[in-house]
Structure 1
């Protein structure tokens, strides 16, 4: 068993998931989705939530089977060996660790709308200025030290923060609805209800922060090694936090669409310019108390998420070291405080790198969204592969209908990847592949036979990533492609191709060494 303290209960674990989900996404997501899809953005949130639920159900089953820290980067290795495990873990780590600086940047960007000159000088309309970067850096240090001494302090502080930041969005829904909601915006604004058609609705899911906003469901899974009764609490925490956030996001988008003053829509939804979306609306509608609450929450919500991700990303590095792809020091847990401190220092350094390369929330959210989708791919495959390989394993949550849900999750994840638009898809998929030299360095130490088997089991994933780059390039111009494959048919091609790759992936699974080692953990859980 892992040398980590199990002291996070169901409520704290659910609050942890909810705290991860409700970050900067709600502050900016409704505005960005409306710019892309108009009033039909409400469909984007519904579809996006259903897609994430399909994916989350696969991971929830895995979290109950193998309650260990950094689980999201370890599960694929159980069913497909080290090659798939590394690519999935690398994609997941890139997607998650970059959330830490984004949340700090989001707080500072919202704070730049405060009525004081020193605050307004922190953001120039596109990037954080030097003073903004300094403040964002200080926030990242706060996230770091709240997790540095004990996971219990992290859990307690996060529960308080989450309760606060869940209340403010609820007040936003009520306050803005009462002050200025009108149904005319849904049908009479320029472009009508769906100004860019279904392509706008689908692109909004991929690029306006919707996938990014829901990504926090991973956090209870990554903290499974420190959860009380993890077989029961982890799956419940995942599903509960996702459903609560999904309902909240829908109503936030709904009231945002209905409350934008008509004069701001003269150039259509795509031309809607708001620096601090909900706070700006509150001030325009004369709801001063809500504007004050929103400006305060612009610090609390993103910072709460930043605190959570600082904890969970350290556990991901811990998990990747256990997989054998980071130096041993990153798997070291402090003997007194029971946190993987060296992993935390590594993530702190990477967070600063991301912050100073991407100096605005909007610059990084699309990249994170695509990387997140790539990291999701292995989950449904792993869950179904383990149903085949180890049907006798204890499954505290055995997802009903997984034989249908898993392939659907893989197909819709592929569609989100395609909807992200070329060239963004190609750029991010390339980033996913550049981590391979690290894999080859460590794998070379394990022998030719081991490498050959793992490479064969993971060949489907490399071919899939390269294929998706090609399809994105050749696809419809509505998704940034070169229109070799016309709109409509492009999505049919992606869906059918994804099903073929899914079946290839299931056939590639084998009883790995890691799965043999996990047998004892699973058997031990049976007797808890």
Structure 2
């Protein structure tokens, strides 16, 4: 028991070095900002087109999965507030192999997502500057956000706070304006609750369409797990993490369900996201000038926010891997301001890839990037549920302290969350999202091979060192 406790303490100590400066409100806004992406502002057309009005149920079930996920994550994060987060926890409570594949999958997911976001930013900037090449915006915004992340964690958090504030304010404003259009300007034709049952009823694509749309809804919530990563730099993780997680899940669930309901009542589901954003349509109904430009600015902010958070997350993951000796020690060093700048540098690969792809082969390469990125994020969520099953049992066995937050309904709700998520992942094989497993499964095979090669090389290295030390001892004895 004592050796086991000592082992866990060593795993925690190895990731020390980062500054604990993040406050609760910053943690909440960071997670919300990362989760509120461009898809919502552009109308969530894909989810609506898959399920019709029943997408509201899809988002509710998606929110339930996230609620279960956050419950598991809150308990484990309070116990181990490290930047390696769910990766370090998987290493501690399942096996080093689990920690290896979780952290590298999450790292590559965020690295490639950074590239996708910065490429989208280049497209949004063409609205105002149609003649400027996209690579200019990729390099410009990429450079700015690298500087923000390299300065200090407080600088990153401040930028992310205000990025998120713009997006959250836009959603609240949309909900208020949408409610006014629905209840204060009801003379508008084709607007009202009847849109929820027109054109094929509430379930135009049956229960299958509703089920597939749950998976799509999960992409709206990706990023909430970032709170667990920021816990390694939180001032008081025992208080900040549970509070931030609860606030994030509640607000996101409310925002998404209300926004989707208003969108569906204002814009008939068959045209949602087809011709223009519902955000634009509401502002046009109210005669607000420059509607398209305002929405483009909000979408640009959403992309910048997501990119900023993804760059942070990928930096902390490779830092954690380095401190665990699963990546070169070079990436585990921190600057005087407590920033792992070498880890940040390697995590900008997504920006480099985006710039190269933008210049050479736009189209096909992004399918690979998106496939691995989607898989890495969802696979990480699944492993959080698996890790929690191991964590609770071992934490109790080793006599761990009483935690300020505990996942209710253990182990049934933990298993429910994991089964729902795994079922949805398998479902993607029979949908247009098949690409996720097509690239995700080979990725896991590649990582597994890399782990066992690393393990064998590491074992040989230790054996050689032991032999040299023994040889040296023999020489000294002879003398």
Query: Into which bin does the TM-score normalised by the smaller protein fall?
Result: 0.7 to 0.9
Which residue of 405, 430, 440 maps to 2:442?
Answer: 430
Match of 2:412 in 1: 404
C-alpha contact (below 8 Å) 1:172/1:290 kept by paired residues: no
Which residue of 438, 450, 453 maps to 1:441?
Answer: 453
Deviations 1:107-136 (CA, angstroms, capped at 9, x unpaired): 444444x3x5x43x68xxxxxxxx234323
Match of 1:183 in 2: 193
Asked if residue 320 in structure 1 is aligned to residue 359 in structure 2, the reply is no
* Pair 1:83–1:311, CA change in 2 (3 A): same
* 1:150 Cα deviation from its structure 2 partner: 0.7
Q: How does 1:241-256 map to 2 (within 5 A)?
A: 241-256=248-263
Distance 1:83 1:106 in 2: 35
* Pair 1:365–1:442, CA change in 2 (3 A): closer
Asked if residue 273 in structure 1 is aligned to residue 274 in structure 2, the reply is yes
C-alpha contact (below 8 Å) 2:84/2:103 kept by paired residues: no
Match of 1:202 in 2: 211
* 1:269 Cα deviation from its structure 2 partner: 5.4
C-alpha contact (below 8 Å) 2:58/2:210 kept by paired residues: yes
Q: Which has the higher contact order (CA 8 A, sep 6+)?
A: 2
Which residue of 418, 422, 425 maps to 1:414?
Answer: 422
Which residue of 133, 141, 144 maps to 1:142?
Answer: 144
C-alpha contact (below 8 Å) 2:229/2:316 kept by paired residues: yes
* 1:285 Cα deviation from its structure 2 partner: 6.7
In structure 1, the residue corresponding to 2:347 is in which secondary structure? helix
* 1:295 Cα deviation from its structure 2 partner: 2.0
Asked if residue 373 in structure 1 is aligned to residue 375 in structure 2, the reply is no
TM-score (norm. length: structure 2): 0.82
Deviations 1:49-85 (CA, angstroms, capped at 9, x unpaired): 1111111211111110101112132110001221111
Moved more, 94-103 or 214-223: 94-103
Distance 2:348 2:377 in 1: 20
Distance 1:252 1:393 in 2: 42
Match of 1:294 in 2: 295
Asked if residue 4 in structure 1 is aligned to residue 18 in structure 2, the reply is yes
CA RMSD of aligned residues (A): 2.7
Match of 2:75 in 1: 61
Distance 2:51 2:229 in 1: 33
- Structure possessing the higher radius of gyration over alpha carbons: 2
* Pair 1:244–1:365, CA change in 2 (3 A): farther
Match of 2:338 in 1: 338
TM-score (norm. length: structure 1): 0.74
Match of 2:202 in 1: 193
* 1:283 Cα deviation from its structure 2 partner: 4.0
C-alpha contact (below 8 Å) 1:23/1:303 kept by paired residues: no
Residues paired across the two proteins, number: 427
Match of 1:132 in 2: 134
* Pair 1:372–1:338, CA change in 2 (3 A): same
Q: How does 1:29-48 map to 2 (within 5 A)?
A: 30-48=44-62
C-alpha contact (below 8 Å) 2:332/2:343 kept by paired residues: yes
